[in-house]
Structure 1
Amino acid sequence: MTKSQANKLGKSLRRNLNANEVPTSECLNNLQEYRTSFKDDVSSVFEKLAILAKETRKDSISSFRIKRIESILSKIKREPTMALGNMGDIAGCRVLLYSEFALKKLIEKIHLQFDVKYVNDYLENSKEDGYRGYHIYIYSPNNNSRLIEIQLRTIESHKWASMVEIIDILFNLKIKEGQTHKEFERFHLLFANKKNLSLNEKKELIKIDIKHNIHSKLNEVFIKNHLKIWNEWINLNKKEDSNYFIIEVDENKTSNIISFDSYEIAESSYFTKFKESKNSHFVLTKIEKSNFKRICIAYASYVLIKHDYLEDWTLITNDIIDDLIEKKEREELIFFSKHIYRNMGEQIELIESELQEIKDYQNNEGFDYNAWTEWLQELGARLQRIKEIYKGETAKNERTKNFLYKIFGGQ
């Protein structure tokens, strides 16, 4: 499809969307053809980028995807002057790194390796909503009329972005796509600056959480999905050549993961799912040297089994408790203590369900030692963290430690 043909297709789709009509089958088939024609372009970039990322830092996580049909349609409607042929993020790669120092080194390498058209730098100046990252738009090595987007983020920034998507899914919102919701937008902004919040801002963050039951909803969904997705991953783990994944959150907020041996089969399945699925979110991706931990980090908003916010919540409330004890504000102290006790109980419920499941799995005929070991190590790390919280070891001083110890009955 030529650029002019793509632009003509974009205009047809925009007319349908503006009239609140479902795009015709012909238009959707043409859009799928246009999407998938980027495969060779993004693959060639990904192969070089993954090598550069590993040279920069061995624990980097590299993935690529072709933009979801829903996201393309949403962008066409949201940006009425953008031509489909000029959309610079139809195909994209993403690299996640554990430090901003490594990220900046990789930026330098990319500018030397690829033909860069332009960049969006959200490191020096984050977006108004709190997002931080670095987006580079390069000419495809195979076709210089096409652009490939490279997104670079620290793991910390990516977890923040994942939280925005998780909130959208749990509360049926579209904040990521521009929908306004003052309280959740404020929540995201506060969460983006969690290391530099004043005590009043920490209280504001937690009160928004309590009002909307964010912590409870996260735990509810995590408990439901954790055992299911682990068992699916263990079964997928037996297929050594499965490099492509469709990860889905259905209308019941249940996560599903399927693997494929070839891109063509994966794309065919993706397009069928798009035409059949309603009210579900799914993505087709390839992740370099995939394992369960890397999948969970790269696509936390689809896997839906854990997020650091549960631990952040505890650390933030510890600071609040410390301040309230010092100021002897009894009423607020009781208010926050109730929610600490309730939320910790929810986390224990998740741990207990996993402990029973991992015992049962060990006795299965299809027992996979490597997958079981990976699961056990991840569970052990969280158990240690829960133990530290219960004993008050996450508190910054003895006064708060003793108070938390009393709340949990010295367990």
Structure 2
Amino acid sequence: MKYSRKQITKAGEKLLTSKSDIEIEEALNLINNWRANHLHPLVVLKNNLLRLLTKNNIQPNLVSQRLKRLTSIEYKLDLNPTMGLGGMQDIGGYRAVLKDVRDLKKLRDALSDQRTNHKLERIVDYVKNPKDTGYRSIHFVYKYSSVRDVFDGLKIELQIRTKLQHNWATAVETAGIITRTSLKSNQGPDEWLDFFKVVSSLFAIKEKLPVMEEHKDLTMEELMVKCYNYCQELNILKKLKAIRVSTNKIESDNFPGDYYLLNINITEMFVNIQIFNKNQFEDATKQYLNLEKSINENENAVVLVSATSIKTLKKAYPSYFLDTSEFIQAIEKMNSNCIEWKYI
């Protein structure tokens, strides 16, 4: 069923403000159906991306897709009350992670020049102009075009970033669980926010990109010393190492699927995975909503994602497994250099 922007926005308002259980239930069902409508456009646009990557001889580190979590939708509406749910452009999102800046720029140019039936509404370059948090990525917002009303006009967002930028973003999301705050939305303890800004600038130096505006007068040595001191004072690396979750599926390709429904238990450090094939997407989205209704958001997180295997799932979404091992390795290397080069 096709929903108008007004209908969706109204459902979002009811979800946040209604005191009626019946109204909230109706709003949840409408929002879930609308969210599920984004799956088909996501698959089509992701396949277009894969063909474009092949055509331009770009080997991605990973390509993935996901439907936005209900808790993330509610939080974003709280932060942006004037936007309205109907104006949210990343309900359906897909991502390409590239090995380096060269491939990132090559893909950016290919996407900008690409001729497609789907309207490219906006490009936001957070690599050139990083967010205040230090976040770096390039976002492409598409308006999907289809002869089928249910899909026509839906907004889909593509994010492209380098592997190093992806590791940073993963660590920020995971650290948000430690601090029980939304660090990625620039909320939380100042010292943690400052640490990730410093690391963003250090990663930028490594990739020959602009540092954060607030760091433009600091040398690499000064930034490295700041990073080292934050790690010591906040015990950051030890805390990140301590919260990697286990899974109920072995890490092999013996569990192929198209959609994976993850239920992350943050308190017990465990993730339960349900696997669905492409013909079961309606069951998957129903189960997704049922789980979202039943969980305690302080103890659990639920998300429906797409991947080709458990291995690629963990690679694409390390933050859902609280896995920051690659980020930790990069920081440990910088800290050891800080000592070796006698900066401290």
Q: Fold conserved (TM > 0.5)? A: yes
d(CA) in 2 for partners of 1:60 and 1:313? 21
How much is the aligned-residue C-alpha RMSD, in angstroms?
A: 2.5
From 228, 253, 259, the equivalent of 1:237 is 253
Shift in Å at residue 204 of structure 1? 2.2
CA distance in structure 1 between the aligned counterparts of 2:318 and 2:170, rounded to whole angstroms: 6
Partners of 2:42 and 2:132 in 1: how far apart? 30
In the alignment, the residues of structure 2 paired with residue 14 and residue 214 of structure 1 have an alpha-carbon distance, to the nearest angstrom, of 35
Distance 2:310 2:167 in 1: 18
Higher relative contact order (CA 8 A, sep 6+): 2
Residues 231-283 of structure 1: CA deviation (Å, up to 9, x unaligned): 6134x73234x121123431315141412223223222221211111121232
User: Where do residues 78-117 of structure 1 align in structure 2 (5 Å cutoff)?
Assistant: 78-111=79-112, 112-114=114-116, 115-117=119-121
Q: Secondary structure in 2 aligned to 1:88?
A: coil
Aligned partner of 2:216 in structure 1 is none
Q: Deviations over 1:111-133 (max 9, x none)?
A: 31332111111122222221111
Q: Secondary structure at the match of 1:193?
A: helix
Once residues 272 and 35 of structure 1 are traced to their aligned partners in structure 2, the CA distance between those partners, rounded to angstroms, is 14
Point out the structure with the larger helix share. 1
- State the Cα distance separating 1:301 from its structure 2 match: 0.7
| Structure 2 residue aligned with 1:407 | none
Contact 1:53 1:60 in 2 (8 A): no
- Would you say the 8 A contact 2:66–2:93 is kept in 1? yes
What's the CA shift for 1:139? 1.3
Note the alpha carbon deviations across 1:349-392, whole angstroms, 9 max, x for none: xxxxxxxxxxxxxxxxxxxxxxxxxxxxxxxxxxxxxxxxxxxx
- Which of 227, 233, 256 aligns to 1:205? It is 227
1: distance between equivalents of 2:196 and 2:323? 20
Question: Which residue of structure 1 aligns with residue 211 of structure 2?
Answer: none
Judged with a 3 Å threshold, the aligned counterparts in structure 2 of structure 1 residues 13 and 283 are, in CA distance, closer, same or farther, namely: same
Which residue type is aligned with residue 190 of structure 1? V
In the alignment, does 2:167 pair up with 1:151? no
Report the residue type matching 2:10 in the other structure.
Answer: K
Deviation at residue 215 of structure 1 after TM alignment: 1.3
Return the letter of the residue paired with 1:126: P
Query: AA paired with 2:41?
Result: D
- Find runs of 4+ consecutive structure 1 residues off by over 6 angstroms: none
Report deviation, 1:192.
0.9
2:279 corresponds to 1:271: no
Q: Which residue of 327, 332, 335 corresponds with 1:309? A: 327
Name the CA distance, whole Å, in 2 between partners of 1:92 and 1:286: 11
Contact conserved, 1:199 with 1:319, CA < 8 A, in 2?
A: no
The answer for unaligned runs of 5 or more in structure 1 is 333-411
Letter in 2 for 1:30: L
Number of positions where the alignment pairs a residue of Structure 1 with one of Structure 2: 314
Identify which range, 39-48 or 192-201, moves more after superposition. Answer: 192-201
Amino acid at match of 1:319: N
- Asked if structure 2 preserves the Cα contact closer than 8 Å seen for 1:140 and 1:148, the reply is yes
Cα deviation per residue 1:126-157 (whole Å; 9 max; x = unaligned)?
22221111101111032453221111111111
TM-score normalised by the chain length of structure 2: 0.83
Instruction: Say if 1:99 and 1:182 are closer, same or farther in 2 by CA, change over 3 A.
Output: same
Tell me if the contact between 2:66 and 2:94 (Cα under 8 Å) persists in the aligned partners: yes
- Which string of whole-angstrom CA distances, capped at 9 and with x for unpartnered residues, describes residues 197-228 of structure 1? 63333232222222222211222223xx3xx3
In 2, the alpha carbon distance for the partners of 1:110 and 1:69 equals 29
Deviation at 1:173, TM superposition (A): 1.6
SS in structure 1 at match of 2:232:
helix
**Identity of counterpart residues, as a percentage?**
25
Q: Label 1:245 to 1:55 Cα distance change in 2 as closer, same or farther (>3 A).
A: farther
Q: Secondary structure at the match of 2:282?
A: helix
Question: Could you say which structure has the larger radius of gyration?
Answer: 1
The residue type equivalent to 2:250 in the other structure is W
Match of 2:17 among 15, 18, 28: 15
| Kept in 2: contact 1:63–1:286 (CA 8 A) | yes
Mapped contact 1:53–1:95 kept (Cα < 8 A): no
Deviates more, 1:154-163 or 1:192-201: 192-201
Please tell me the residue identity of whatever aligns with 1:232.
K
Cα 1:277–1:291, aligned 2, differ >3 Å: closer, same or farther? Answer: closer
Change (3 A) 1:102 1:206: same
